[in-house]
Structure 1
Amino acid sequence: MSLVSGNTTKKQTSLPFSNTSTSSTNKPYLQNEKLWTAVAFQQEFTESLNNHGLLGKKKKFEQDPTKRKPTLSQKMGLKEPPPKKLTDSQWNNVERNLVTNRLSHLEDGCPICFESFAFNDIVCITNCGHVYHQNCLQSFERCNIWRKRSCPMCRLEDYQRKETKLHLSLLKNTCALMVQSLCRGNVMRKIYRRLYFAKYPDRHEKYCVSKLSSINERLESRVIQDEKNVDDFLKRIDEQVKQSLLILNMQEDQWNKVESKALGREEKDEECPICLCAFKGRKCTITSCGHIFHEKCLSSFEKFIESKNQKCPVCRQIYVKKPISFDE
């Protein structure tokens, strides 16, 4: 006959997300579950208010969920604990699944900026299997108004990201396919052209004649254009030489004509085109092209230009100058 002790043991219950039994006495929240559950609920409520900025200060957006400290409710097993950092083998499985199942996502480019991935871009992959530019994803995280770490595509909370080089292999494959297609196309066109012309020799003759005629036309047009450019260049040189000789050999009667023409205009300038001040009371000078300036303004302009061929500030012509007495 067996003896049964008078001290009856209580039935042990485990919390939903707890991995430890309630018999451990080193954790104080296991001694009075109701009190500590109320405290945990109060902390969660305060944290939710902080996240929405209702208490004055918004909680900072946490970039890495694996570095987050567990709350009291998570320690008690009332909520899921913070995610653990994925291992290299788990990341390899994520990349392998992306390559085998959803390779078209890489071809479409970044879902945030809608631009394709380039060789110099820094690309990151999430544990939910989506690929983004690193700058785009970080900008999305900074501009997230919900202050939650959720994937822009599938809204997976507390996702993890890691730099990847899957786009480089895809770009290499696409470039290799393009080179192969161009080479094969060129080879096949040559083979087809050779077989086609061997079967139809008259068409081969027409093809060669048309190619030679097009080459001759291009050469002829190029020669005509070069001759025209040379003629225009020589014509401009002749005009500039004539103008320079005319300016250098200007006589007194020619200066009188220029002065009378400048002073006799109906829309006569009453201010210097450089400093926009009146001519009266200052020494003035007139150019051979018929424009009047202050003497100091024109000399300052010439020092500023520092070129041998001085050109008029108004009409951009080569000139010689002469003092003039300007009266209103």
Structure 2
Amino acid sequence: MAMRKGLKFKTSNKLVITSAAFQDHITRSLLLSNLSLSDPLPRCKREGPRNPQARRTVQETGLQWQDWREASEYVLDPAPPPLTLAQKMGLVAAPAERLMEDEWMQVKARSAQQGESTQPCAICREEFRLQPQVLLSCSHVFHRACLQAFERFSGRKCCPMCRREQYETRLIHDAARLFRHHCATRIQACWRGYVARKWYRHTRKTVSPKDKRLRRKFFEAKLQELNDSFVRYCHTDTEAFLSDIDRSLSSSRRVFQQLESKSVSEPQENDWDQIQSQVIQRGVRDCPICLTALCDLNLPTEASRSDHQQQGRRTVLLSCSHLFHQLCLEAFESFTADSRPPCPLCRSVYHKKLI
């Protein structure tokens, strides 16, 4: 009898504990469901990292929490609630354990292999760009705001793509990094295009083309540009400007003529003797034009010089102390365009005397 009463008492106690455990589990589940319906992600907008070590790292590096938040990746889900009595007793299945860092890396690698960050968000069908994005434990990626709105209006935590329930979320920045890289690539391409177009325009203005027709147009444009610049430079009338140039040239020409006439005067008889002595001292023997022998000025008598004169090879002495055959000098003067030709050797204006 006593044993039956003990067994009934133990059975009743076990039923009481089991019912209490189930009641506690149901109560907590209802509270959590109501909380999730009111705010699916209640701790997404936290002020700092949950990990004290991460907070200490942010303080040591001197970074602001916002900067660290934009540069790092972290799990958005809150810490799991403690196990209920029913879960501890094994009456109800315990929730799955949180993913470790290595498992998150595998999920992220699978998402990158599928190209989730390169495609638009599956909820709003817009590009991610710099907007916050979240990675689910099922390797799908969405806008953070889109996932919050989906959970709020669906009333449950279910992946919009694969319908997986009770997933974990992690904030990532893959799409933002890809968008910055794409923007930098476009900026560099635009800059290179601008530099190439600028170089091409400069080359077209400075280097003439090889084709004859294009080359002719190139030089015609250059000549027209020079004419236009010359006309723009002349602020006054062009005819008046050219007449001023003519007057200045004529005045300069008169000045040079006066200087030339003053600098060269006809030598006197004594001067010719000095010039002849200079020629004798130099020992000139050949005509610089025809390279044949001249009359020797050192001959003692005039009879010896008469032989050269009879042959028509008379010698001319210039005021610059140079000797030439008369015929050679006359031929040189006839072929010279100047009204008063200079000496063939020293290029100075001269007076001449027959010897």
TM-score, L = length of structure 2: 0.36
Greater helix percent: which structure?
2
TM-score, L = length of structure 1: 0.38
